[in-house]
Amino acid sequence: MNKIAIGFLTIVIALFSTLNVNAQNLNSTNGGYAKTKKINGKKFRVMYYEYVVNKTPDEVWAEVSGKFTEIGKIAKSVDESHCESGDITKGLGASRFCSINFAGKTVEISEKIIEFTEGVKRKEYTYDVYKSKGFPAKVYNTWVVRVGDDGKTYLGNAFIFRGKPAMMTGMIAHKMKKLKAVRNTVLNYKHYLETGEKKADPAKFDSLYPEM
Note the pLDDT tens digit of each residue in 9-65.
332 223 233 333 333 333 444 556 788 999 999 999 999 999 999 999 999 999 999
What was the pLDDT predicted at 19?
30
Contact 112, 93 (CB under 8 A): yes
pLDDT surpassing 90 at residue 173: yes
Is residue 118 pLDDT above 70, yes or no?
A: yes
pLDDT at residue 201 in the model: 95
Q: Which CATH number fits domain 29-208: 1.10.3720.10, 3.30.530.20, 3.40.50.150, 3.40.50.450?
A: 3.30.530.20
Please report the pLDDT score of residue 20 as a whole number: 33
User: According to the model, what pLDDT value does residue 211 have?
Assistant: 80
Q: Please report which helix (H) or strand (E) contains residue 139, including its range.
A: strand 137-147
CA atoms within 13 A on the CB side of 122: 7
How many whole angstroms separate alpha carbon 108 and alpha carbon 96? 11
E strand or H helix at 199: none
Interval 68-83: pLDDT, tens: 999 999 999 999 999 9
pLDDT at position 88 over 90: yes
**Measuring CA to CA, which residue among 125, 126, 124, 127 is closest to residue 146?**
124
The confidence score (pLDDT) of residue 33 equals 73
Domain regions of the chain by residue span: 29-208
Q: Which pLDDT belongs to residue 212? A: 66
Q: What's the whole-number average pLDDT of the chain?
A: 86
Q: Could you give the CA distance from residue 124 to residue 136 in angstroms, rounded to a whole number?
A: 26
Residue 34's pLDDT is what? 81
Average pLDDT over residues 172-186: 94
Q: What is the predicted pLDDT for the residue at 35?
A: 87
How many Å from the N-terminal Cα to the C-terminal Cα in the chain? Answer: 33
Q: How confident is the model at residue 4 (pLDDT cuts 50, 70, 90)?
A: very low
pLDDT(109) > 70: yes
- Give residue 2's pLDDT: 47
